[in-house]
Amino acid sequence: MKNADFIKAHDRVKDFDWKASYSPAAARYDMPYKIPTKTSDPFRHLVRDYCSMERDKDDRQYGAMSDVMARAKMPAKASERWTEVLKIALPLTCYAEYAAMKCTGQLVEAVDNAELRQGYLAQMIDEVRHVNQEAHLVRYLSKHSVDAEGFERGFKLRNSNFLMRASRACFDSFFAGNPIEGALNLQVVAETAYTNPLFVTLTEVAAANGDQATPTTFLSVQSDEARHMANGYATLAAIASVPDNLPRLQRDFDSAFWRQHTFLDTFISAVYDYFQENRGGSYHEAWTEWVDHDWAGGYIERLEPFGVSLPHGWAEAKERVKWVGHTAMMMLAATWPMQFIRIDPLNARDFDWFERKYPGWYDRYGKFWETYAEMSDPTHGQLPISLLGSVPPLCRVCHMPCVFPRPDISTLRIKDFGGRKHAFCSDGCERTFAFEPHRYAESRTWDEHFDGYSIAEYIEKCGLLRNDGKTLLAQPHLRADKRWTLDDIRRQQFCITDPLKNLPSQGAVVVLQ
């Protein structure tokens, strides 16, 4: 079809758009924004042709994984340190794709604009594909990896593992508010700012560590994300074109950035920096290129003439990103018995790399990792969580531990609201709560939910044992000869407690309008 004919056909298709005869979708979703009924189309695809293109991409991906990589036994040759973290990372990203699917479905229904809806529909098709692609990758690695136990647990532990609960707090923002708020979280921030560090740069780490299956999937996914970024830009342009939208838009954009930053920067940084065996660049370097220079400098700053500014807290986030991944990884390693992956101790080569990439790292984290290695043998009978002194509370908004950016300069604050104490990890999370406290005030954090459980009871309840019924899925090393058992944990007599019960309040939450 010639280009002129394609454009004519595409415009003709949009003439068949319709209005629902039942209750207005915008009213159901409590839409606070005015959206023009006519804008530019970010996709310019006919759905029939789009589905054909995506089918061809699927054939290439699944064919490569089932043929060449399977016959060459490539997953078994990958670094075990690297493949362990995929047991968490892949179920987590799979849920993010599911949440994105819900977001775009809501946008299709709620936004009365044929051009935008065409783009949202194509993206929803993409997100369904991505859910299946990443679930298939989990299944593929569980069949071919050296230590497959644990790959299926991430799907089951979305509510009972504290890291998975924090990921849900992040990704539920794609669909839990009004659809435009979801689009800001998903398309404008998560996809435009963070999918390049996740799906592009992280594939380089995977390939360098012998994993060819993950890049095959992730690069196929990322080929769609550029179009999703176009959806985000078209949505943002449409909203910003109505002056009455601008105050609410900036507020929701500020909250969207902070909610994605608190989890994504923290998690991706820990994955990127701590699970490499064949080391290359650092997450801070990737973040500076993709998020700071490309997203903030090349995209958001250019929107200021149209009424959209860099998000509130941007300068703080730039400082936090240097340390949040190290702090998160220390927390993950300290609580290793409650996880479902093996966390390899760092070696001298790792120490040199961290000090070179993050000057001052050893003074802040080195001693912990040295002691962690000493405690990795069950005959020593110690858990690294004892090194923390006290367990930090979890943030009411992002559900991450309130120890960021580093334990020595933590921005923790504890406030009263509605007859309960609430911990916040940062000013950004407290502001988000203060604008809409009804969305967060009644939720329970992981430590409130499991308050009073011993670690052994928690492990049994969550099924964190291997097939023999006594050896832990999680281990503080990669060795098969000195694995911890449930009896080793029972001897620790360590209980999960809710720290908020014993911490003083610092005042009341000031509700913002």
Q: Could you give the residue numbers annotated as active site? A: 97, 127, 130, 191, 225, 228
Residue 484 in tokens: 């911890």
Torsions phi, psi for 366 (to 5 deg): -60, -45
How far apart are alpha carbons 313 and 397 in whole angstroms? 16
Q: How many other CB atoms are there within 10 angstroms of residue 424's CB atom? A: 26
DSSP class of residue 401 equals B
Residue 335 in tokens: 């609580």
Asked if residues 400 and 447 have their Cβ atoms less than 8 Å apart, the reply is no
**DSSP-derived secondary structure for 53-109:** HHHHHHHHHHHHIIIIIHHTTHHHHS-HHHHHHHHHHHHHHHHHHHHHHHHHHHHHH
How far apart are alpha carbons 253 and 261 in whole angstroms? 12
In the chain the first and final C-alpha atoms are separated, in Å, by 53
Quick one: which of 35, 426, 24, 442 has its CA closest to 248? Answer: 35
Residue 71 in tokens: 């016959």
Handedness of CA 376, 381, 385, 386 (dihedral sign): negative
Q: Classify residue 381 as left (phi > 0), alpha (psi -120 to 50) or beta.
A: left
